[in-house]
């Protein structure tokens, strides 16, 4: 473990670790993409809308039994040379926050994800995850199926590998997210061990059972209340009383060994705005990330963390730094 302290930031970067070689089978991959229509139906997904005119940002909307009542969408951001290079590329799955959507990262300042990935040999996949879906298959729903976890893991990832020139393997994938999406990234990385070699959480909570915002188990309560209010029509992600097995399966602090040999990058703000929601969100983020980092440190698992001024938002400089680390960690195009 080594330590360095850049100006105005406290950053701990533990170095070491080796790449795991576990691969996820992914079906056939197209040898090349055409400008007209690269993607087709499959994996339980039926395309209801598509947009492939932009040379980089391709858009799809699906009908799937995993999500009832409406059609989730995804943006697929391609490298600048995707249509001419003939190469395969690593993939970053980028997960939005609560009350966000699949275009959240295209709205960010300083050009957003399109500008930040210009010239980088990386495909970025940005799917819908529900207004408060918590990247989960909920215990209960009163509005039809809202199985976001199944949609992402069992359908979308293999569909991407079927239809784009990717590496359908552990060293070919990273996952990152903001807020609720940062939690989803941490959860997916541990729960589906062989899918992702790098995980990043930008202002995402990292413990379900620990104290968050002064409340023990605060993130579970947060997930249940928010999902009941805006996602599940009174249903909940973890149930009331909690489904304790689901909580344990999703809790980063109870899955610490699953992060070994992976790149880990976390960001939390130390001075939220004096509004209820910003203070509530980022206080929970800071408290739970510190708890999780303690577990990682005691287990000797390398990780990088940043505690910086400000509250519950994406920081372009650290996001770009994270992208460079992701490209360095994954298999090269």
Beta strands in the chain, from DSSP E residues, in sequence order: 2-4, 10-13, 46-51, 57-63, 73-77, 91-95, 123-127, 173-178, 198-202, 211-212, 215-216, 263-269, 304-308
**Residue 278 annotated among the catalytic residues of the structure:** yes
Q: What is the pLDDT of residue 102?
A: 87
Whether 165 shows a pLDDT value over 60: the answer reads yes
- At 109, the pLDDT band (50, 70, 90 cuts) reads confident
Closest CA to 312 of 147, 169, 179, 175: 179
Q: Which of 61, 326, 63 is nearest to 177 (CA)?
A: 326
pLDDT in tens, 272-328: 999 999 999 999 999 999 999 999 999 999 999 999 999 999 999 999 999 999 999
Range 75-99 average pLDDT: 97
Which of 152, 195, 306, 312 is an active site residue? 312
pLDDT in tens, 223-265: 999 999 999 999 999 999 999 999 999 999 999 999 999 999 9
Beta carbons within 8 Å of 206's beta carbon, 6+ residues apart: 182, 183, 186, 252, 253, 266, 285, 288, 289, 291, 292, 293
Nearest to 333 by CA among 126, 86, 93: 86
Q: Where are the alpha helices (DSSP H) in 193-315?
A: 218-230, 244-250, 276-299
**Predicted confidence (pLDDT) per residue in 173-228, tens digit:** 999 999 999 999 999 999 999 999 999 999 999 999 998 878 899 999 999 999 99
Q: Is 317 a catalytic residue?
A: no
User: Which of 141, 176, 179, 207 is an active site residue?
Assistant: 179
Percent of residues, the chain, with pLDDT higher than 70: 89
Query: What is the per-residue pLDDT for 212?
Result: 86
Q: For residue 245, what pLDDT is reported?
A: 98
Give the 3-state secondary structure of residue 7: coil
Q: Mean pLDDT over residues 21-40, rounded?
A: 43
* Closest residue by Cα to residue 80 from 89, 92, 69, 71: 89
Could you tell me the two tokens for 156? 């979308």
């Amino acid at each position: 473990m080594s330590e360095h302290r850049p100006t105005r930031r406290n950053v701990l970067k533990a170095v070491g670790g080796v790449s795991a070689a576990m691969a996820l089978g992914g079906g056939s991959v197209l040898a090349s993409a055409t400008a007209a229509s690269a993607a087709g139906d499959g994996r339980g997904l039926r395309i209801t809308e598509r947009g492939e005119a932009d040379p980089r940002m391709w858009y799809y909307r699906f009908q799937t039994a995993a999500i009832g009542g409406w059609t989730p969408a995804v943006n697929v951001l391609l490298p600048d040379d995707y249509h001419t290079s003939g190469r395969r590329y690593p993939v970053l799955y980028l997960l939005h926050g609560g009350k966000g959507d699949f275009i959240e990262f295209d709205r960010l300042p300083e050009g957003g994800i399109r500008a930040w990935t210009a010239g980088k040999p990386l495909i970025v996949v940005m799917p819908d995850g529900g207004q408060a879906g918590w990247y989960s298959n909920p215990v209960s729903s009163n509005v039809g199926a809202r199985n976001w976890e199944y949609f992402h893991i069992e359908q979308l990832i293999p569909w991407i590998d079927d239809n784009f020139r990717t590496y359908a393997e552990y060293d070919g994938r990273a996952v990152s997210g903001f807020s609720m999406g940062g939690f989803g990234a941490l959860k997916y990385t541990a729960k589906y061990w062989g899918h992702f070699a790098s995980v990043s959480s930008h202002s995402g909570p990292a413990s379900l059972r620990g104290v968050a915002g002064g409340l023990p188990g605060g993130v579970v309560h947060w997930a249940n209340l928010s999902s009941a209010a805006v996602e599940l029509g009174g249903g909940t992600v973890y149930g009331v009383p909690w489904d304790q097995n689901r909580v344990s399966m999703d809790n980063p602090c109870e899955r610490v060994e699953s992060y070994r040999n992976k790149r880990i990058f976390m960001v939390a703000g130390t001075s939220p705005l004096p509004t209820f929601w910003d203070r509530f969100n980022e206080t929970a983020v800071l408290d739970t990330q510190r708890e999780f980092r303690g577990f990682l440190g005691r287990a000797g698992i390398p990780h990088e963390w940043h505690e910086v001024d400000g509250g519950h938002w994406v920081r372009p400089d650290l996001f770009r730094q994270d992208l460079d680390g992701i490209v360095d960690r994954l298999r090269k195009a």
